[in-house]
């Protein structure tokens, strides 16, 4: 099975609103399925909002120029009371010095403003987490103004960002803060997304059935002889107008599963899989939970498909379809048995 491609650099471009419509649509579709990328997006968004609130360029005092001119005028008045010297160029020289001083102050304020607006993305202290290689960065027509850099203060622990942003060589006014870290937990396999992909592969005739039969007992015997180590339970849905089509021994990520298919009226398709494991250990967050007959069901909606998981002893059962979501849930309720 191909590794899932992550959009690490494109997430930064999406946050800065620099993606073209086609690339933006592709990244947003990926974020719907990838919890890791969603976490990184939220971390980037939080960091930028925090720095924007903490750092705003401070304007020069409103009365700075007035105070300087007042001081110079006072000095002129004092000089006027003294005897006039033979150096007629001195008043002009003093005015030139005053204007030069004002010019230096203005230049210093402008330089301070732009230095303080050095982008947050220059920070070399962002903590990294493992990631797969990403594709080259998409080109963008324009680039937004850089964000203000963070203040030298400790921040609360937040989700970790990928190390894709490198620091450019630029003068720094102050040391940048280090984000506090916490251990990185291993990511759970995306079983709901894989089950949904298996459903699409079957409908696209890319996942053939090894045995084609309408006999549920023959289907269970096939799984036993094909090496499935747990007891399968292929149920009869004839009362609900669904008939068994067949099945195969399937590889679901790192688990061997018994996969079998039902077909109903108007060519409605149900794909059921059974594999060893515990739902509390293998399923990611984001499920809608419902209980029926003392059994807890975990329901996911993935791009128009409904995927329902539940536990039967040491085996996880999952039913997937593109029919009405409530109909899929009711079929799962009918099939499930508390063990």
pLDDT in tens, 158-195: 545 444 444 444 545 545 544 444 433 334 568 999 99
pLDDT in tens, 142-154: 455 555 455 545 5
Mean pLDDT of 254-273: 95
Mean pLDDT of 246-275: 95
Give the per-residue pLDDT at 320. 97
Greater model confidence, 53 or 118: 53
Give the per-residue pLDDT at 39. 84
* Confidence band, pLDDT 50/70/90 cuts, at residue 1: very low
Six token digits for residue 48: 């930028």
Q: Decide if pLDDT at 127 tops 50.
A: no
d(CA 207, CA 197): 10
Phi and psi angles of residue 221, each rounded to the nearest 5 degrees, phi first = -65, -40
Mean pLDDT of the chain: 77
Query: Of the given ranges (27-31, 104-108, 123-127, 290-294), which has the lowest mean pLDDT?
Result: 123-127
Give the per-residue pLDDT at 180. 44
Contacts of 310 (CB under 8 A, 6+ apart): 279, 295, 296, 297, 298, 316, 317, 318, 332, 336
Greater model confidence, 86 or 248: 248
Give the per-residue pLDDT at 147. 53
Phi and psi angles of residue 75, each rounded to the nearest 5 degrees, phi first = -65, -35
Residues in the chain: 339
Mean pLDDT of 231-242: 91
3-state secondary structure at position 187? coil
d(CA 42, CA 40): 5
Which DSSP string corresponds to 205-236?
Answer: T-S--SEE-S-HHHHHHHHHHTT--SPP----
Query: Which burial class, exposed, middle or buried, applies to 184 when counting CB atoms under 10 A from its CB (0-12, 13-18, 19+)?
Result: exposed
Contact yes or no for 308/332 (Cβ under 8 A):
yes
Domains of the chain: 64-116 (no CATH), 191-335 (3.40.1000)
pLDDT in tens, 286-330: 899 999 999 999 999 999 999 999 999 999 999 999 999 999 999
146-157 burial, b at 16+ Cβ within 10 Å, e below that, comes to ebbbbeeeebee
d(CA 308, CA 327): 11
Contact yes or no for 16/41 (Cβ under 8 A):
no
Give the per-residue pLDDT at 158. 52
3-state secondary structure at position 272? strand
Give the per-residue pLDDT at 138. 44
Phi and psi angles of residue 291, each rounded to the nearest 5 degrees, phi first = -120, 140
pTM confidence score:
0.46
CB atoms closer than 10 angstroms to residue 310: 24
pLDDT in tens, 25-72: 888 888 788 877 888 778 878 887 777 776 655 666 667 777 788 888
* Confidence band, pLDDT 50/70/90 cuts, at residue 13: confident
Six token digits for residue 281: 């250990």
């Amino acid at each position: 099975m191909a590794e899932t491609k992550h959009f690490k650099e494109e997430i930064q471009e999406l946050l800065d609103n620099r993606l073209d419509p086609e690339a933006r649509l592709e990244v947003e579709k990926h974020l719907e399925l990838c919890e890791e990328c969603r976490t990184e997006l939220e971390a980037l968004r939080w960091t930028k909002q925090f720095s924007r609130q903490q750092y705003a360029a401070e304007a020069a005092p409103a009365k700075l120029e007035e105070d300087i001119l007042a001081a110079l005028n006072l000095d002129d008045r004092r000089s006027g009371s003294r005897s006039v010297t033979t150096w007629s160029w001195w008043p002009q020289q003093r005015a030139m010095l005053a204007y030069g001083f004002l010019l230096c102050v203005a230049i210093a304020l402008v330089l301070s403003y732009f230095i303080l607006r050095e982008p947050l993305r220059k920070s070399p202290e962002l903590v990294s987490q493992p990631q797969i290689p990403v594709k080259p960065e998409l080109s963008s027509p324009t680039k937004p103004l850089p964000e203000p850099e963070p203040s030298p203060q400790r921040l609360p622990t937040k989700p970790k960002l990928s190390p894709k942003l490198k620091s450019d060589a630029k003068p720094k006014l102050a040391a940048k803060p280090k984000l506090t870290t916490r251990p990185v937990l291993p990511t759970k396999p995306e079983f709901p997304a894989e089950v949904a992909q298996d459903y699409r592969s079957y409908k696209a005739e890319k996942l053939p059935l090894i045995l084609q039969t309408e006999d549920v007992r023959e289907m269970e015997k096939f799984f036993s002889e094909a090496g499935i180590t747990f007891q399968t339970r292929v149920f009869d849905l004839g009362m609900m107008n669904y008939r068994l089509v067949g099945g195969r021994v399937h590889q679901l990520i790192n688990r061997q599963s018994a996969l079998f298919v039902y077909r109903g009226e108007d060519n409605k398709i149900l794909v059921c899989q059974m594999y060893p494991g515990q739902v509390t250990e293998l399923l990611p967050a984001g499920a809608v939970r419902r209980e029926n007959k003392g059994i807890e069901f975990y329901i996911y909606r993935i791009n128009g498909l409904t995927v329902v998981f539940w536990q039967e002893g040491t085996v996880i059962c999952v039913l997937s379809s593109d029919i009405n979501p409530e109909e899929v849930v009711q079929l799962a309720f009918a099939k499930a048995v508390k063990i």
